[in-house]
Amino acid sequence: MLALGAVSLLSLVSAQPHRRRHVHEHQNEKKDSNVVVVVDTVYAVAEAPEVVVYVDNDGNPVQTSTIGTVATPVVYSHGALSTILPTSSSIPPPAPTSTSTTASTSTSAVAVSSSAAAIAGVAQAVESVASAVAPAASSSEASGYGVSYSAYKANGDCKTQDDVNEDVAGFGGAYSLVRIYGTACNQVATVLQAAQNHGLKVFAGVSDLSTLNSEIATIVSAANGDWSSFDTIAIGNELVNSGAASASDVVAALSTARGLLKTAGYTGHIVTVDTLAATLNYPTLADNSDYAAVNCHPFFDPNTPPSGAGSFIKTQMALLRAKLANPSQEIVITETGYPYDGDSNGEAVPTLANQAIALSSIQSTLSSAVIFLSAYDDAWKTNSAGTFGAETYWGKGGAQAPSG
């Protein structure tokens, strides 16, 4: 299962996982004007060698490595761009013609004293808490991997049913689930039909809390009483990370959505999706979801090479598990991947070869319950320095949508 075991009871250094903002949908709905400024803790570094201890799913130390820094906390406001580290967020979607993006970096590990005695202490501490944070068995209806998909043409126009059918057919049986982010362009109905034609589950989404009721009504209408093809409905994507809503607002929206969807006969999973960083800061987002739904991108950590993509995610999941109210709650990586073009971010270098290495690392580390970004390049998006000029290059193998 995805969720990792224990973390050390000794000195835990948790830098915020790098956050960036992918744009997934048209801004064709009214946005909330009450922007919340999110204050996060990141870590500046001071020289002093440390040993990093990595643990496996059973809480057993499996690898150690020495690093030359100790992290010390520095508080910055997510709303300000003049920060210690570059910032980025992933929020539900601005217009494809104009995107504002930022980026942030992070490293994360269980850091302890470099002495042999301290390392032994970590192993003992990990063993003592392993049972409390053991991974959960999957409760998700879909098995295997999922993939995200946007029903927009390169010029931003809506795709037709025939277009969506052609694109979903192009998945070629590689996935068991398709994720969409909102309800614009009649995409719930068109993607649902195409998914049913190929035996795929649908991960649907509400993009904006201010249009919660109408978006749920759109999803209910598309289902038309048959919920058998829906795996999950997400209420918001990275709203807290972006500052578009507070954690309490999102939790309240989850409660409202549950009532509306229950009345409509839906009994599947209901979650809110946010970055792993935001969920670490506000674990109530996961605690009030049917499973912990988090987006995590190794590319945005400058210290992680493509070959370390899987272990990066695994480490972040271990940090999150330690903060969950229910340590056995399922954790699903609802968005991850690797670009094949754009600018380098430290050791994260976007090439086709590196994309293949990173995706292989993720797949070999996390066997299921992972949704990849993206089925195809999203040419309708806008590249920016904040996302290292890579926003349009996340299609697996550089794949372009068959329908254009």
pLDDT tens, position by position, 113-163 = 333 333 344 334 333 333 333 333 333 333 479 999 999 999 999 999 999
Q: Is the dihedral of CA 97, 375, 317, 236 positive or negative?
A: positive
Cα separation, 111 vs 122, in Å, equals 10
Strands across the sheet with 111-112, in order?
61-77, 39-55, 111-112
Rounded (10°) angle between helices 212-223 and 187-197? 30
Q: Which of 359, 287, 357, 362 is nearest to 328 (CA)?
A: 287
Q: Average pLDDT of 199-220?
A: 98
CB atoms within 10 A of CB 83: 17
Residues facing 148 on adjacent strands: 179
**In a 10 Å sphere around its CB, with 0-12 CB exposed, 13-18 middle and 19+ buried, how is residue 244 labelled?**
buried
CB atoms within 10 A of CB 299: 28
**What's the pLDDT band for 66 if we cut at 50, 70, 90?**
very low
Task: Give Cα 202 to chain centroid, integer Å.
Answer: 17
Better-scored residue on pLDDT, 26 or 232:
232
How many CA atoms, within 13 angstroms, populate the side-chain half-sphere of residue 144? 11
Q: Please compute Rg for the chain using Cα positions.
A: 20
> Which domains, ranges and CATH numbers included, belong to the chain?
13-133 (no CATH), 146-398 (3.20.20.80)
First-to-last alpha carbon distance for the chain, in angstroms, is: 36
Cα separation, 269 vs 262, in Å, equals 11
Q: Average pLDDT of 33-45?
A: 30
Question: What pLDDT score was predicted for residue 88?
Answer: 30
The Cα angle at residue 104 between residues 101 and 106, in degrees rounded to 5: 155
Which residues have a catalytic role annotated?
A: 335
Question: What pLDDT score was predicted for residue 386?
Answer: 86
Q: What is the DSSP letter of 36?
A: P
**In sequence order, what are the residues at sequence separation of 6 or more whose Cβ sits closer than 8 angstroms to the Cβ of residue 136?**
1, 3, 328, 329, 330, 331
Mean pLDDT of the chain: 74
Q: Which of 282, 309, 317, 381 is nearest to 2 (CA)?
A: 317
**pLDDT at residue 61 tops 80:** no
User: In this predicted structure, which of 257-271, 279-293, 367-381 has the lowest mean pLDDT?
Assistant: 367-381
Conformation bin of residue 48: beta by default, left when phi > 0, alpha when psi is -120 to 50:
left
- DSSP reduced 3-state for 237: strand
**What's the pLDDT band for 345 if we cut at 50, 70, 90?**
very high
